[in-house]
Amino acid sequence: MTALKVLDIEALIEQLTLTEKVALTAGSDFWHTTPIPRLDIPAVRLSDGPNGVRGRRFFNGVPAACLPCATALGATFDRDLLKSAGNLLGKEAKSKGAHVLLGPTINIQRSPLGGRGFESFSEDPFLSGVLAGEYCKGVKEEDIIATLKHFVCNDQEHERMAVDSIVTERALREIYLMPFMLAIKSGMPEAMMTAYNKVNGTHVSENPKIYEILRKEWKWSGLVMSDWFGTYSTTEAVTAGLDLEMPGPSRWRSDALAHAVSSNKLPEFVLDERVREVLNLINVATKSGVPADAEEEIRNTADDQALNRRFASESIVLLKNEGSILPLKKDKTVAVIGPNAKVATFCGGGSASLLPYYTVSPFEGVSAKCSDVKFSQGAYAHKELPLLGRLMKTFDGKLGFHFRAYLEPPSVKDRECVDDLHITDSNCFLLDYKCDRIKTDLVYADFTGTFTPDEDGVYEFGLTVQGTAKFYIDGELIIDNTENQIAGGSFFGSGTIEVTGTKKLVGGKTYTLLSQWGSRPTSKLQAHGVVSFGIGGHRLAGCRIIDPAAAIADAVKLAGEVDQVVLFAGLNGDWESEGHDRANMDLPPYSDELISKVLEANPNTTVVIQSGTPVTMPWESKAKSLVQAWYGGNETGNAIADVLFGDVNPGGKLPLSFPKRVQDNPAFLNYRSEAGRTLYGEDVYVGYRYYEKTETDVLFPFGYGLSYTTFALSSLTLTATAQTITATVTVKNTGAVAGSETVQLYISPKNPSIGRPNKEMKGFQKVFLQPGESKEVTIEVGTKLATSFYGEIRKAWISEQGEYEALVGNSSQADFLKADFKVEKTTYWVGLDGEEVYVHKA
């Protein structure tokens, strides 16, 4: 393996040829920068986050730790915990031979329908930025480079590479750039990834105004890379400030860029600036000690597992607990019901997903706590059929199946197998598949193994491809996805819809499954979208068909026969995923009916919802006990069970408002691309800012969350100077159980000169207390940052003279402690934190 060494950047720039300079500003492949062996310039490896480190392979990758989704981490409101998450991710990056982690994601959840909403921390820019800064600190402590993304306004998936996000400069500054500004200030990350979209007419990767804020105003130094295939020009992107085009091989920066320099369309010194940042990134990467071509390894230590379990359990939000139904009793019978019960819904879909070391379902977690557990399915929650890989076995009895590659189609007799792999994940995205004996994109493969169903019944199987495939059971053709193909959202929008077929199977009998696949060149689809990924994809799935009415009736019957009932419902990576937004806020079909009828049969049922963003709850008024559990990573089931049985007292708070209806959310009329643009018509009124301004009732407010104990806040004292605002409050645990409370500080301008939100969160602090214990909690914030709005005419932040109110409570709709303060003089400022006084330049 090649060790990274510190480079003499200026000396190298003088020695590099034009061709080599151009090469350095683009990736060599999907996950590496381009090495220049002649000058001992190594490649640096990048790897996907934000909730795990996948390594360098989508296809048949090395298993990895999966942390809870970002919304879950946001719900902890815990700076120290986010730093620990960064530490763990940094260690995971080293085990995967990665120098650069592509996370955290800090886009704003301006609508509940965002397909990647689960990847972001919050609807609130302050919470997002502060937590992202701690995440970056933790990653940096392991000498791994964190990457803030997606810079900026990548807040929807619909036409994400083409949409123009039309947003006022004030909203851009106060809402969408603020998380990046705060994270840079505190976390000092060394890399940034640009968004796919345009902002006000120009793609971000080539938008000079956006780079000017980053480089000149914030004075940030680091590498700016494109999102994958998110570069749209040659000279424009280089001139604006895009240092690195990813992935490789380059589409924009090979001969075309060299020609632009040679013809004086692009000055060579500008190219040198981009090269300098790439070389500097390599120098920062040397601190990690990770060699250039490291093999990927598995960590999965007991300490990591325990920490990951803590991340997940502390993210869980107790929304209702009337009659103290929770915690459950371990010595009483428990019925576990619902579509998310026996499925480990550990992650959303898209580039955040990965092959986990292990998963724990809620049913497994509950069963580990209680010996008398009964189960009823009640309904399914899948949008696409559930994957079959971990239900299959190879012919020699191993978990999974065989992937056997060929250079000829199945019609060729005695064709030679050129690659034979043992795989467990039947969602096979071959964008980074490599085999020394395969020199072309035209490849054929057999996916084959055995399947032994648990029960008699009619089973439905699904086949989704980028390419073509036929699926057989014991030699009988069940699905043909080779002709009349229909484009779908699979494989980042490059594959087909799921094509299904059925067969009656006998429980306990073993069947041979075979899918014969051809790679992307065999596809009958017309090319669609901006980019097509890799050589193809193949997804094999299936399950027993259930009668919804009968399944619900069975669940209702069981709910009336036991001491305690827990119903697990929600979304999964089918519904919340990169590549598409949600069509609505609803739970999957039959979920609401199941929940309503089970609640009627047993009003003391605890309902646990897993989702990365809000869902509608038409049955909420019937539910006495309600828990929001997110996507919890490897330890999902254990963490939920820890909270349900009281081994962990829930302390999570909602990092985003839960509206009653999708029509109530501020982006409802302006969410999706219309004629190539999205108007950010809600302006600065995102999330709770909008609901409060319009006096729109929500189901559950921002910052809200209950506990198994109770807390009292008292004795607020406030000190305000021109530099800082300091709020001190006494918090007492008035209950019988140890637990945590999150104190939240909001600032409200009394007579602003322009329209402003009623209040905005500007500080928070989590405190853990034993029963009866009291502690003083102090929150200190910068006065300018806490009181300012962005003045579009002056092009500067304005901390306006006048009266303000500080509100301290435990949610955005708490019974607040209040104190007034004054800003004596109007101040105009620019930069990261108000230290630079604004001076008008004509």
Residue among 729, 685, 732 at smallest CA distance from 711: 732
CA distance 4 to 290: 7
Could you say which DSSP state residue 633 is in? G
For residue 418, how many other CB atoms are within 10 A of its CB? 17
| Residue partners of 583: CB distance under 8 A and separation at least 6 | 113
Strands 499-505 vs 457-466: parallel, antiparallel or unpaired: antiparallel
Is 303 tagged catalytic?
Answer: no
d(CA 515, CA 528): 25
Tell me the pairing of strands 511-518 and 444-451: antiparallel
Angle at 227 between CA 441 and CA 209, to 5 degrees: 145
The structure tokens listed for 710 are: 């109770």
Q: Which of 756, 745, 755 is nearest to 780 (CA)?
A: 745
Among the listed residues 776, 775, 761, the one whose alpha carbon sits nearest the alpha carbon of residue 808: 761
State the Cα–Cα distance between residues 345 and 343, nearest whole angstrom: 6
**Burial group, residue 546, by CB count within 10 angstroms (0-12, 13-18, 19+):** middle
Cβ atoms within 10 Å of 369's Cβ, excluding its own:
17
The C-alpha R_g of the chain, in whole angstroms, comes to 27
Evaluate the CA torsion angle 555, 556, 557, 563 in order and state its sign. Answer: positive
Pairwise CA distance, residues 701 & 618, whole Å: 17
Cα pseudo-dihedral 180, 667, 705, 742, rounded to 10? 30
The catalytic residue among 48, 227, 243, 446 is 227
- Sequence-ordered list of residues with C-beta below 8 angstroms from that of 221, at least 6 positions apart, any chain: 215
Backbone dihedral angles phi then psi of residue 281, each to the nearest 5 degrees: -60, -40
- Residues 514/471, Cβ–Cβ less than 8 Å: yes
- Measured CA to CA in angstroms, residue 683 lies from 111, 207, 214, 759, 786 at distances of 13, 21, 21, 15, 19
Please tell me whether the peptide bond between 249 and the residue prior to it is cis, using omega within 30 degrees of 0: yes
Dist CA 801 CA 840 (whole Å):
19
Q: Is the dihedral of CA 527, 530, 531, 532 positive or negative?
A: negative
Length of the chain: 842
Among 227, 224, 234, which Cα is nearest to 154's? 227
Question: Is there a contact between 791 and 828 (Cβ–Cβ < 8 Å)?
Answer: yes
Answer yes or no: are the C-beta atoms of 657 and 585 closer than 8 Å.
no
- Our separate counts of H helices and E strands in the chain read 19, 39
Structure tokens at 749: 């301008």
Sign of the CA dihedral running 243, 249, 252, 257: positive
Distance of CA 651 to the CA centre of its chain: 21
- What percent of the residues of the chain are helix, what percent strand, and what percent coil, each to the nearest 5? 25, 30, 45
- Edge to edge, the sheet with strand 711-720 lists 711-720, 724-733, 774-782
| Cα–Cα nearest to 648, from 372, 373, 375, 369 | 369
Q: Which two tokens stand for residue 401?
A: 């199946």
As to burial, measured by CB atoms within 10 angstroms (0-12 exposed, 13-18 middle, 19+ buried), residue 751 is exposed
Q: How far apart are CA 48 and CA 96, in angstroms?
A: 11
Residues with a known catalytic role: 227
